[in-house]
Each structure stands twice: as C-alpha cells, then as structure tokens.
A = this chain, B = another copy of it.
Amino acid sequence: MLSTIPNKVDIEDAYNRIRPYTHKTQILTSTLLNARFGANLYFKCENFQKAGSFKSRGAVNAILSLSETNSSTGVATHSSGNFAQALARAASILNIPSYIVMPENAPKVKVEAVRDYGGKITFCKPTLAAREETIKKVISNTGAFEIHPYDNYDIIAGQGTATLELCQSIQNLDIILCPVGGGGLISGTALAAYFFGNNIKVIACEPKGADDAYRSMKAGSIIPSVNPLTIADGLLTSLGKRNFPIIQEYVDDIVTVSEDAIVEAMRLIYERMKIVIEPSSAVPLAALIEDRVDVRNKNVGIIISGGNVDLAKISF
C-alpha cells in the first residue's frame, strides 16, 4: 500500500499487478473527427474496460496491494456508480467480501451490476452525512477495510495505467485531455503522462455545472462541489486531498464546458465512432467543440473514462 504520491515504479508495479485482471483497452481514431478538429485524436477507450470504466484499474490495484490482514475481513466503500461495480468485481478476484454503501436513489442498473459482482449493498440517504455515517457503521460491524474511490494513492497509481498504455502505444503525444471529478483519474493521468510521455501537456476538462476543480485550481485550495448540475454524473464529487496537490503540480490547465457541448460531443462519439460512452467521457471532446484547447496539428490523447450509461435517460 502506497503512503506517498506514486512514482514511476509505483505505476509500473500497479500495471504489472492489474494486467491479468484488466483489459489493455483499444485506442480508436476517427478520420472524420481528425478532419473536423485539425488534429490527430487518439481515444483511449476505458468504456471497454472490465466493469465498464477505468475504475477497475484502481480498484484491482488497491485490492491486490492490501496486506493479508487488511484484506481478510473484506473491503468497503461508498459509491453510487462505477467504483462500486469496480470494487465489487475486484474483491471477487481475491474471493473476499465487498461492502458497498450506495445512495437509495442509485440507478437500478448500477445496483444490479454491483450485486452481480457479489457486492453486499447497504443503502443510505443521498447525503454526504448519511453516507459517512453509514460507511462507519458498516465498517464497525464487519471489520472491512475502507478503500476510498479516489482519495487513495493505490487508486491513483492504478488509474495512471491507462495513460501508461496510451504512452506506450502512441509515442508522440503532445496533449492529453481528461475529465475531472474527484480527481482520481486526472491525478493518475497527469503522473503517468509525466513519467511515460515526452513533455505531454495534460489538460483537465470539467462541466461548467460542476466546476469545483476549476475554482479550486484558481483559488489554490480545495473548494467543495456544492449542488453541481450536469449530465456528466461521474463528475459531481469534490476533489480529494491526496489528488489536489498532484493536480496542482502536474496538470497544465483546466477548462470548463457547457452542457450543450457535452451532449453534442456524446452524439458525435456515438454517431461517428459507434461506441457507447457515459456523459462524463464526452467532456474532453466538448472542450474541443467549444475551442477551449488549441489542438491544431497536435497529437492528442483523449481518455474515454467509461461506458456505464442509463440508456433510458439519454436523448439526443
């Protein structure tokens, strides 16, 4: 278990650890989108990752990094979405129990996915206070070891492996665009780009309707996310205290995008690339649509974070 910011070897170790249990995901390109934006875009498709998102990388790394003592009584977390599924699946690899605290209004499809992976769910009211109280109770009852969805160095190292793979496959990247929510993905991405890339500029992309990371970067301290409103439901959370310093040091810029641009980016990716992505994954392309980043003639990696979307709620 890591107790400091992951270094190059930590991310390589994480990669070797997770390889047997995760996909080396495809990198897709689109002639049409390249032409439209005047750049070479490389989409790293974590929507094809196990359990449908990059979260499997961090979850598997965190689980496999536990000591026997810590893992023996199982693991616990709170998550309404992708991390819940990813941790339940990762725990099943070691055949240890996973206790997942979910808000009672979590989408049915996600609840079912957690159950399918063997997760034991405790529901709570959809408030921060209820969530923290409930997970404390679960841990005190079960002795499970808590794994935070993003404010955790093993998680960060695991999430960085997507960019390690991307840098191995595309060796002349100039820019990487990545969505930012709690900061697990962007912090791992920025570290991996620094260690495995050649002077890559990393740009965090965030919905205007949930722009706490943007405001935190400007303020120089974490500003919590209050009443965020965006279709990008994976990006509602506040930055973690382990994530923020990494973002401050290794992320080059942060840009925000409108809801219209997110929907337009989703439509472009569905229609032109024929892949199913969740709204959060469309945020980086939305930044290109709104001309927030100069990508002309550049080689640009775009992290497609996941594909777990409630199709009934999507309308184009």
B276 near A109: Cβ-Cβ < 8 Å: no
Give the residue of B26, B52, B274 whose beta carbon is less than 8 angstroms from that of A307. B274
Highest count of chain B CB atoms <10 Å: which of A271, A274, A276: A274
Could you tell me the distance between the alpha carbons of A316 and B271 in the complex, rounded to whole angstroms? 17
A275 within 8 A of B: yes
Give every chain B residue within 8 A of A270 (Cβ-Cβ): 276, 311
- Top 3 A-B pairs, shortest CB-CB distance: A274-B307, A311-B316, A274-B276
CB <8 Å contact, B276 and A311 = no
Q: Which residue of B lies closest to A116 (CB)?
A: B32
A48 sits at the interface (CB 8 A): yes
Given the complex, which residues of B lie within 8 Å of A271, measured CB to CB? 109, 276, 311
| Chain A facing B: main interface SS | helix
| Pair B52/A274 contact, Cβ less than 8 Å | yes
A residues 250-303 touching B (CB-CB < 8 Å): 267, 270-271, 273-277
In the complex, the answer to whether B52 meets A267 with C-beta atoms within 8 Å is no
State in angstroms the CA–CA spacing of A274 and B48 once bound together.
7
Residues of B within 8 A of A230 (CB): none
User: Shortest Cβ distance from A119 into chain B, in angstroms?
Assistant: 16
**A47 is an interface residue with CB less than 8 A from chain B:** yes
The answer to whether A47 and B276 touch across the interface, beta carbons within 8 angstroms, is: no
Within 8 A of B (CB), among A21-72: 26, 47-48, 52
